[in-house]
């Protein structure tokens, strides 16, 4: 959860990127109220700000919706992300096959799934390094070439 001070820093960052962003007590209080109940860290909020102003909608005003959208995507709260997580957890045997596709996974299962995915990403990187090999490729001469 963000504090009033965190929101003030976020608005200050946004005002440095957009002259139309107002940093005052009213705006800070409004953002604080809008973000109550949203599980977002100051780092996520700042990333949402930077992503907005470096993205295709940079000409539009930065809003609370940008912060909420990034927090939702990061915490895998969208319907598509929840369904993907449920499918993945079922395939790995972490939950029962009868688990509803749109029900968010319990915290311990989400943590286990995250850990497994990270392990698989690392292993994929190691396999890619093996596939690339070292040195120069073998010279096969004229094999496969028309003369």
User: With pLDDT > 90 as the criterion, what percentage of the chain qualifies?
Assistant: 56
Query: What's the pLDDT score for residue 63?
Result: 94
Query: What's the pLDDT score for residue 31?
Result: 97
- In which region does residue 135 sit, left (phi positive, over 0), alpha (psi from -120 to 50) or beta (all else)? left
Q: What's 62's DSSP letter?
A: P
What is the C-alpha to C-alpha distance for residues 30 and 122, in angstroms, rounded to an integer?
Answer: 42
What is the C-alpha to C-alpha distance for residues 118 and 13, in angstroms, rounded to an integer?
Answer: 32
- The full length of the chain comes to 147
Query: What's the pLDDT score for residue 141?
Result: 76
pTM, two decimal places: 0.58
What Cα–Cα distance (Å) separates residue 20 from each residue in 36, 58, 61, 84? Answer: 24, 12, 8, 39
E-state strands within the chain? none
Query: Buried b vs exposed e over 114-124: b needs ≥16 C-beta within 10 Å?
Result: eeeeeeeeeee
Q: What is the pLDDT of residues 82-116, one digit of tens each?
A: 899 999 999 999 999 999 999 988 989 988 988 99
What is the C-alpha to C-alpha distance for residues 7 and 146, in angstroms, rounded to an integer?
Answer: 68
Alpha helices in 63-106 (DSSP H): 64-74, 79-91
Query: What's the pLDDT score for residue 147?
Result: 66
């Amino acid at each position: 959860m963000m504090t009033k001070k965190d929101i003030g820093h976020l608005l200050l960052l946004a005002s440095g990127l957009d002259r139309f962003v107002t940093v005052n007590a009213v705006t800070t209080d409004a953002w604080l109220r809008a973000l109550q109940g949203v599980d977002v860290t100051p780092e996520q909020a700042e990333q949402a700000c930077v992503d907005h102003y470096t993205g295709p909608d940079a000409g539009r005003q930065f809003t609370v919706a940008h912060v909420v959208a990034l927090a939702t995507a990061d915490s895998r709260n969208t319907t598509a992300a929840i369904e993907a997580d449920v499918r993945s957890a079922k395939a790995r045997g972490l939950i029962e096959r009868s688990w509803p596709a749109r029900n968010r996974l319990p915290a311990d299962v989400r943590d286990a799934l995250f850990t497994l995915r990270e392990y698989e990403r690392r292993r994929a990187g190691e396999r890619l390094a093996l596939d690339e090999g070292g040195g120069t490729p073998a010279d096969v001469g004229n094999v496969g070439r028309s003369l």
